[in-house]
Amino acid sequence: MKRIKLIIATLSTLIAVVSSGQAMAMATTNIPYIKKTIKTLKLAHGLPAGSSYDQGAQRFSNLVEIYTRGEVKVKVYPGGQLGKEADLAKDIQLGTLDLGLVAINNASKWYKPMDIFIMPFIFRDREHANAVIDGPVGKEIFTNYKNASGMNVVSVFEWGDRAIMNKTRAINRPDDLKGIKIRVPKNKVMIDTYNALGANATAIDWGELYSALQQGVADGLEGPPQGMIDMKFNDFLDYYSYINIYYGTAVILMNDRVLNKFSPENQAAIVRAGQEAGIYQRWLSTVSHTDGLSKMEELGVNVNIVDDRQAFVDKVQPVWDKYRDIIGDEWFEKVTQAK
């Protein structure tokens, strides 16, 4: 009799445990707020870990996970770990890489109107640039770019105000550029711009730049102050001339086929994460510019600010004339008139 009671008690305990487990499983099934990860995307870029590029990419990664409730994650690979920046866009188009953060000048070859973003002196200031990026002009350009390339612009970051850093002399007027080999990306607009200013434009991939500068293949380059410090170019380049010829932008690209494999909800979450990460990164970059010049001076770099840029603007007028025909005059009008 005691044995029968013991068996009954044991069975009752097992039933209770099973029932409790089923209830917990049902609760978890009915309220699946944190979802099982179905995909981890790779995002590559060429700048060092901790740079504003990288901080923006990490913010994008965090927001994707939050807005998809963990169903999609993004792993960031900084510092050129997955290849040269010039190759990333092609890898994304082919579908061998999920996401890449690349300067617009390395992404524009599939749709030439994208080069409007790197025309010299095209933007009056950051407010103007943001009005283009976040407004109807940017939306139209990025939609056309997707149709031409098969890649979505899911976020817009910035390099910011790109000024000249070199080892030869301070640049206060265009004549000061004569004979100086300035590294530029492999983009015809930027090559033509520096040649028009009197420099010898030298197209070098970002991943090969550090050694090229050390070996004298180039005498200098152009970029924002904090970006130059992040790359430690101040170790062997002595002059930084703040002329702000370009407002440099970069984009996170994603293959359209890859994006469309996700649910509509997750697609919207990725796009939302990209928009917010772009705003965040552009703010970080702006803040870094405000104190980047003083940091340069503290590091022993000779800094000069060119307030009157008109002589430089006049020198690049033939570049504007040339690319009005290539890019399309309507894009010049849309961008310059954006508010």
Burial of 62 per CB tally in 10 Å (0-12, 13-18, 19+)? middle
Residue 315: CB atoms within 10 Å = 18
Residue 52 has pLDDT above 70, yes or no: yes
Smallest Cα–Cα separation from 134: which of 327, 255, 275, 281?
Answer: 275
Q: If you average pLDDT over residues 104-121, what whole number do you get?
A: 94
In a domain, 190, yes or no: yes
Q: How many residues does the chain have?
A: 339
Whether the CB-CB separation of 142 and 275 falls below 8 Å is answered with no
Whether the CB-CB separation of 179 and 200 falls below 8 Å is answered with yes
In a domain, 339, yes or no: no
Give the integer Cα–Cα distance in Å for 159 and 248: 5
Residue 11 has pLDDT above 80, yes or no: no
In a domain, 328, yes or no: yes
pLDDT attached to residue 30: 57
Residue 90 has pLDDT above 80, yes or no: yes
Whether the CB-CB separation of 174 and 311 falls below 8 Å is answered with yes
Q: Which residues contact 157 (CB under 8 A, 6 or more apart)?
A: 52, 53, 56, 101, 249, 250, 251, 252, 278, 281, 282, 285
Which stretch of 3-12, 133-142, 207-216, 217-226 has the lowest confidence by average pLDDT?
3-12
In a domain, 139, yes or no: yes
In a domain, 18, yes or no: no
pLDDT attached to residue 12: 54
Q: Which domain holds residue 220?
A: 35-333
Q: If you average pLDDT over residues 94-101, what whole number do you get?
A: 96
Residue 167: CB atoms within 10 Å = 15
pLDDT attached to residue 124: 92
Residue 253 has pLDDT above 70, yes or no: yes
Number of domains in the chain: 1
Residue 325 has pLDDT above 80, yes or no: yes
Residue 20 has pLDDT above 90, yes or no: no
Residue 291: CB atoms within 10 Å = 12
In a domain, 1, yes or no: no
pLDDT attached to residue 28: 47
In a domain, 118, yes or no: yes
Residue 1 has pLDDT above 70, yes or no: no
Question: Average pLDDT over the chain, rounded to whole?
Answer: 90
Smallest Cα–Cα separation from 219: which of 161, 162, 167?
Answer: 167
pLDDT attached to residue 86: 81
Q: If you average pLDDT over residues 284-306, what whole number do you get?
A: 91
Q: If you average pLDDT over residues 198-225, what whole number do you get?
A: 90
Give the integer Cα–Cα distance in Å for 85 and 48: 13
Assigned token pair, 105: 């000048």
pTM of the model: 0.84
Q: Is the dihedral of CA 96, 149, 250, 259 positive or negative?
A: negative
Which stretch of 31-35, 100-104, 298-302 has the lowest confidence by average pLDDT?
31-35
When pLDDT is cut at 50, 70 and 90, the band that residue 18 belongs to is: very low
Share of the chain above pLDDT 70, in %: 91
Which stretch of 23-32, 283-292, 298-307 has the lowest confidence by average pLDDT?
23-32
pLDDT attached to residue 214: 87
Residue 302 has pLDDT above 90, yes or no: yes
pLDDT attached to residue 5: 52
Give the integer Cα–Cα distance in Å for 253 and 133: 15
Whether the CB-CB separation of 145 and 110 falls below 8 Å is answered with yes
* CA angle (49, 132, 134) in 5-degree steps: 65
DSSP codes of every residue in 214-240: HTTS-SEEEE-HHHHHHTTGGGT--EE
Whether the CB-CB separation of 160 and 103 falls below 8 Å is answered with no
Residue 302 host element (H or E) = strand 302-305
In a domain, 125, yes or no: yes
Residue 24 has pLDDT above 90, yes or no: no
Assigned token pair, 208: 């090969």
Residue 36 has pLDDT above 90, yes or no: yes
Residue 81 host element (H or E) = none
Smallest Cα–Cα separation from 157: which of 59, 288, 278?
Answer: 278
CATH code of residue 256: 3.40.190.170
CA diameter of the chain:
109
pLDDT in tens, 216-231: 899 999 989 988 998 8
